[in-house]
Chain A
């Protein structure tokens, strides 16, 4: 910090736009983004509940369905809902601090919207209709190794859709930068690079060099500018990788080093988390002071934090690959350097939380639905930040990496922090955008509190399961986690149902309806309404409890889902895929027809399988190997090593049948 920095904080300008045309544009853009994002939430939320139920054995999904849903849910909820919501809210934040969207910014904002809609649409089609299940991080080269579960076109459409989403992020960044670096900054210098520095908040640190008149840049502009710079830097290498992958879909000889690809993915994958967080911080900076009835409590140090963020945000990617350190690469050195760099990024959060909490401290804070949502969002930010520090520490990451702990952490961050900013913004500003009063404040409060309680409980379940060694991205978790998964599923169902309150409130507000306030409904009416609500909630809790109890009871009696206790064999086998945990899952194949296929296709020539009387010794002994269904389908379809591909000889149905036969005759004991 320079010596001439002022010792007291500078009051930023906080005057909203007044020009009707400018306001109209900001309203339209924001409403368009935010409403579309909430539709995506509805779909992604249902997918999430279905996955959780499947893991808890309440409606078990076929593995391909589970993983296709997981792919769609991840991208849909993270980018399509949380990301898209705060990207839209950025335009309203600008309107609140007097920054109009000008022509280039508007064109880019429109392009962003349509690219995002097309991208999310393509992701839905490629996953739910074409079965692409490469997960939402599509880790290279997984999209090309589908084990026969999805085809080239599914891969190509998926990758193209992600590319569209990436381009949408880049056009949004241009739109935001154009809006931020504007005359509304009141920068003394006309030079663009000087204005750019002002928009990044440098004026708080070097007031002479980055002078403004009459007042400093509004705080909310700083995180928006920072993230726009970073996301351009972060997204372009991923776009190149995506283009290569689209080419490789049709030209299999194309190749990229897997470790390089993994680094490129996370070069984008980390900053994209902040594409959600930083605009959300901008919303906090606008709304928390408003509800507290005072300016944001902040000095100049917070801008030190944002300055660190510009650099640190794009140089911490490797904390996602802490557990990759092959001997022939410099990855170990890179990863080691990333731990302190990642720690430095938490300073931004720590300082923002300080400012926001102390803005509320001893104020006349308005505990309405929006104000409460913001406060609970801050609480979740704190707890998600603490679990994030665990992930950022290499010594801890080797235990929690890819466990359900991580899932618990990012749901706290994305759903309970960023999501709560979206909820708060909708409750606070939907009346401004539509010109209608919020339908029901009390319904909004119920939604906020229930979502916080059940959302936190849901994350707690994941955090505990993760520390106990439960892996993430498992369609079927090891049997010992079943009870926890069932508790989690019960919580997820209530959490999902709670969102009906949110959607109904939006819908009714847009329609111009207003629920009668309690005072107008009279004493008895209120009492009855409250009584009914309590009874309904009690019933819901009872039903959830009963459902869990019934399922736990049934499952504990079923041998199929108990922990797979492995027989201790004296001689270790060469290949040891385990006994499958769900012997009844034959992927829709007919084992009886499969036996005929096994005998007629020549499988017996190479494999031993007692159920077919086969004694071949060229390939693996299937009685010993007990291969899982997906492995058989993959090997029969594509072949591997000495095993030929049977794709041209057998129909997909025949392959499914023979796989069902092999699995049924080897896994049942």
Chain B
């Protein structure tokens, strides 16, 4: 699992545990605490507080994650590496890339939408972008480790989709 996947798993797990605790309290309150006096108007009023909490949490999530949006990667420069995707193969230049130097993938499709997902030799997903017909999608990435990297198509592209793979070497 990659770093971002671990962040997702941990935060989803923590929120899940909190949610389960809250829900358990609710169930307990509505099975054991029957006919207890509750101020429904007060609860309805607290909806505003909850609204505020939700807005604050979402704004916080927005401001902590927006910096990791990958869009500037399509603008950067690096070793040119054009890849053509077509049903059901990736056509990659027959040359070796260098570790530590940015690689500029220029991705085009000969037919339908494809996905360009790159995995390292330990099967960790490093990044992915879509390859769309009629357009060129760029993505700049710097490989730190030499090795063989695998490309997997991540957009359904027809009956040979699950066999659409490729690889390239970084030295």
Chain A interfacial positions (CB closer than 8 Å to B): 7-9, 63-64, 67, 133-135, 137, 139, 141-142, 145-147, 149, 257-259, 262, 292, 294-295, 297-299, 301-302, 304-305, 321, 323-329, 332, 335-336, 339-340, 343-344, 346-347, 350-351, 354-355, 357-358, 360-365, 367, 375, 379, 382-383, 386-387, 389-390, 393-396, 398-403, 463, 467-469, 471-478, 480, 566, 568, 571-578, 580-581, 625, 627-631, 634, 640
Q: How far is the CA of A580 from the CA of B166 in the complex (A)?
A: 12
B-side contacts of A477, CB under 8 Å: 162
- How many residue pairs at the A-B interface have CB separations less than 8 Å? 312
CB neighbours of A294 from chain B (8 A): 40
Residues of A close to B92: CB separation below 8 A = 572, 574-576
B142 to chain A, nearest CB (A): 16
Residue pair A147, B163 in contact (C-beta under 8 Å): no
CA distance A346 to B51 in the complex (A): 11
Interchain CA distance A577-B95 in the complex, whole Å: 16
Per-residue CB proximity of B106-131 to A under 8 Å, as 1/0? Answer: 00001111010101000111011110
- A630 and B40: CB pair below 8 A? no
**Supplied contacts A139-B156, A394-B65, 17 more A-B pairs, CB within 8 Å:** A133-B159, A135-B156, A142-B112, A258-B133, A292-B30, A323-B128, A326-B132, A327-B137, A362-B30, A395-B66, A395-B69, A396-B7, A398-B70, A469-B1, A474-B162, A575-B92, A576-B165
Q: Which of B7, B19, B129, B158 is within 8 Å of A147, CB to CB?
A: B158
Cα distance A379–B25 in the bound complex, in angstroms: 13
A139, A386, A402, A630: the one contacting B88 at CB < 8 Å is A630
- Of the listed residues B40, B51, B152, the one surrounded by the most CB atoms of chain A closer than 10 A to its CB is B40
Of B16, B75, B86, B113, most buried by chain A (CB within 10 Å of CB) is B113
Asked, given contacts A139-B113, A576-B166, whether A467 binds B8 with beta carbons under 8 Å apart, the answer is yes
- Shortest distance from the beta carbon of A663 to any chain B beta carbon, whole Å: 10
Q: How many residues of B contact A (CB 8 A)?
A: 98
Give Cα distance in the complex from A350 to B49, angstroms: 12
The answer on a CB contact under 8 Å between B23 and A379 is yes
Within the assembled complex, what's the spacing in Å between the Cα atoms of A444 and B161?
Answer: 41
**Majority SS at the chain B contact face:** mixed
Task: Pick the contact of B91: A139, A324, A472, A575 (CB < 8 A).
Answer: A575
13 contacting pairs across A/B (C-beta < 8 A): A8-B44, A64-B159, A139-B156, A259-B135, A297-B40, A324-B132, A340-B62, A354-B50, A365-B30, A379-B19, A568-B148, A577-B165, A640-B86
User: Chain B: residues with CB nearer than 8 A to chain A?
Assistant: 1-2, 4-5, 7-9, 12, 15-16, 19, 23, 26-27, 29-31, 33-36, 38, 40-41, 43-45, 47-48, 50-51, 54-55, 58, 61-62, 65-71, 74-75, 86-96, 110-113, 115, 117, 119, 123-125, 127-130, 132-138, 148, 150-169
Q: For residue A357, which residue of chain B has the nearest CB?
A: B26
Which 5 residue pairs across A and B have the least CB separation, nearest first? A630-B160, A326-B135, A395-B68, A578-B165, A628-B163
Shortest distance between the CB of B34 and any CB in chain A (Å): 5
Residues of the A chain whose Cβ atoms lie less than 8 Å from the Cβ of B58: 343-344, 346-347
Give every chain A residue within 8 A of B152 (Cβ-Cβ).
471, 478
The chain B residue sitting closest to A386, CB to CB, is B15
Quick check: A631 and B54 within 8 Å, CB to CB? no
B154 to chain A, nearest CB (A): 5
B167 near A576 with CB under 8 A, answer yes
Q: Is the CB–CB distance between B19 and A382 below 8 Å?
A: yes
Chain B residues near A259 (CB-CB < 8 A): 132, 134-135
Most chain A C-beta atoms within 10 Å of own C-beta, residue among B134, B136, B138, B164: B134
